[in-house]
Structure 1
Amino acid sequence: MKLCRKIRAKFTLIIDVEIIMLTKDLLKFTVRTDKIFPKYLKPNDPEALLFARYLVDAYRAGKGMKLESLTEKIKQHPKSGSAVFGGLNKLLEDRCAYADSESEVEDRRWELFKKAKEIRNSGVMAISEFQTRVAEGTGIDFSRLESNLYGDLPEFRIVEDFEDIDPTDLIHRYNASQVQGLILRSRTLTMIVRDKDAVKKRRLLQRLKFWRLLAEIDEGADQLKIILSGPLSLFDKSATYGSRLSNFFPNLLLMDHWEIKAEI
Structure 2
Amino acid sequence: MAENATPERKETLVKEAGQDSTDKETFRKLAEEKRKAAARKRRRKKIVKWSILSVVLLAIAAGITYWVYNLFFVEEVIPDMTAFSYRGPFQSAVSGYGQVKANKTEAVTVMAKGELLELLVQEGSYVMEGDLLYRVDDSEVRQAILVKQDELAEIQASLDAIYEKIAKLDVYAPFGGKLLDVKVSMGDVVGEGTELATLVDDSRMRLRLYFSYGYEDEIRVGQKARVSIPATMSVVEGSVDKIEKVRRVT
Higher strand proportion, which one? 1
Same fold judged by TM-score > 0.5? Answer: no
* TM-score normalised per structure 1: 0.15
Higher-Rg structure is: 2
Structure possessing the higher relative contact order (Cα contacts under 8 Å, 6 or more residues apart) = 1
